[in-house]
Amino acid sequence: MRKWMLVSAALCLAAAPALAQDQAGAPQVRLSKPNSYGLKDNKIAVLSYAINFVTGQRASANASVGTKARAGATLVGVDEATMRRLANEAHADLKAQLTAAGIPIVDDATIAEVTRTAGVTLLPGNRDANRDGGMVIGSGVKKAYVSVGADAAPLTDLYQSAGKVGGFGMLATLGKGNKLSKPALSLGAAFVSPSLTIDFADADARTSRTLAGSRRASVDIDTQFAIRMPSPVNIQVGQAVGIAGPTAMTLSRDVVMDGAFTGSAGASSMSTAGDYGEWNPNDAANVVVDLPRWTAMVQSAYRAYNAAIVANLLAARGR
């Protein structure tokens, strides 16, 4: 069955027309509305722009002792140089969209100087990663990732990188952002730090029983291009007295994008207790991307994500 799926996927990919940069369908991205305090009349300073690329998934289901299913999938064909180029493009696109919307922005050199003098720590190498996705205990899914920042809007220690907390890019320590309170006031600006998460597969791990009552464990990892929630846009504004509380825009649901970006069919596994035995109880797959098509989909994703950011900032300004 899986062999047929693999051949079918490859034929569909081969038959698809070449996907130019501007031909990837625009996804519908909607972010939650931020607290408008400090956003109405201030400039926007893009402090950090991160893209979190999911690079591996590992799913496990345990129905009982000896009744287990495992599957894994790895993203293949995308190097870190490509990831960094896309992060730089996304940062430049956000600034261009802000300018086109008539929202004033703070220049990169000023932001870099403020970051230095405020004592904001930059992550070494402007990257963060978890290559193995961690350990799966019981039934569940773990994801490996690589997070990269734009050269002019690098990763900082103000926010957690992908995968370290319940949501990608959420706040590391509430008080850390207060370093930017006085600079925000002096600049008449609000600092924003988008953290976009791009995934390549959808994994499901479950346990059930057969009609005969036997325990069954099964996992499936299907290829899927998606913007994963919460993909937050963390916002820090100035406050003259006390701690300047941060706010954020977040996705309330994943945004799945249609389009062929690989000929791979993913991985699946099932194990049933008793006389039924096992079917492929431990499967692994390399999801090899068609780089031009995958790149075009990432570009479409960050443009839509940036447009949602700009729309919310315009709304906060009463426009």
The residue ranges of the chain whose pLDDT is under 50 are 1-23, 135, 163-173, 275
Provide the token pair at 192: 């924003």
CA-derived radius of gyration, the chain: 22
pLDDT of residue 253: 94
Rounded CA-CA distance 72/247 in Å is 36
CA-to-CA separations, 260 to 6, 11, 29, 233, 266, in angstroms, rounded: 13, 11, 20, 28, 13
pLDDT score at 273: 57
pLDDT of residue 269: 66
> Structural domain boundaries of the chain?
2-10+31-316
User: Of 267, 241, 232, 85, nearest to 178 (Cα)?
Assistant: 241
- pLDDT in the model for residue 17: 39
Span 101-151, pLDDT tens digits: 999 999 999 999 999 999 999 999 999 988 766 545 556 788 999 999 999
3-state secondary structure of 31: strand
pTM of the full structure = 0.84
Structure-token pair, residue 162: 């992908």
Are 43 and 189 in contact by the 8 Å Cβ rule? The answer is: yes
